[in-house]
Amino acid sequence: MTLAGVAAALWAAWEARRNNDMTPEPPNSVVVTSPQAADGCALVAKGQTLELKGTAKLATGMTLWEVTQASGDNKLWPGPIAQMDADGRSWSMTVASIGADGDKDRRFNLLLIAADPNAAPELRAAASATDYAPLAKLPEGTDVLGEVCVKRSS
C-alpha cells in the first residue's frame, strides 16, 4: 500500500469514528414495543395476563426471560421465556399473573433478562417449580437488558 493509500484509509477511519459509524453495538439489547403506558407504568388487574412484545438482539446461545420484582423488594420471581419470531429479532411473551392478593396499587418491575446456556436452566427450574419461590439473586450468566413498569389496578 502506498503512503497515499495509508493516509486515505486513516482518514476514512477517523471520519467513520467521528460520525459514530464504528461504535460497536452491545452484544445483547432489547426494545419493548408493547405495552405502552403514558405515565410509564402499564396497568394490570389482579389475575390478568400481560402480553409483552418487542425486538431484541441476542448473542448466539442467549435466551430472553422475564423476571418480576415488586417495588421495594429484592425477591426475583422468574417468569416466561420469550418466544422469538422466525426473523430472530421480534419476540413476545405472556406473563400469567402479576402480584398476589393485597397488591392493589403496588408497582412491579418486569425485568427483561438475557440468559446464557448455563443460567437458563436455573431460571426454567424456578419458573416451573411446583412450590414457586423467588430467587435471592439472578444466576451467573444473566444480564438485565430492560424493564417494564406495571401497576396493579385491583
pLDDT at 131: 84
Measured CA to CA, the distance from residue 62 to residue 120 in angstroms comes to 8
Question: Which pLDDT value is given to residue 6?
Answer: 56
Strand order in the sheet with 107-115: 41-44, 142-152, 107-115, 63-70, 77-81
pLDDT value at 53 more than 60: yes
For 80-138, what is each residue's pLDDT tens digit?
Answer: 999 999 888 999 999 998 998 899 999 999 999 999 999 999 999 999 988 888 999 99
Compute the distance between CA of residue 13 and CA of residue 42 in angstroms, rounded to an integer: 44
57-81 confidence digits (pLDDT tens): 999 999 999 999 999 999 999 999 9
3-class SS at 23?
A: coil
Q: What is the mean pLDDT of the chain?
A: 88
Domains and CATH numbers, the chain: 25-152 (2.60.40.10)
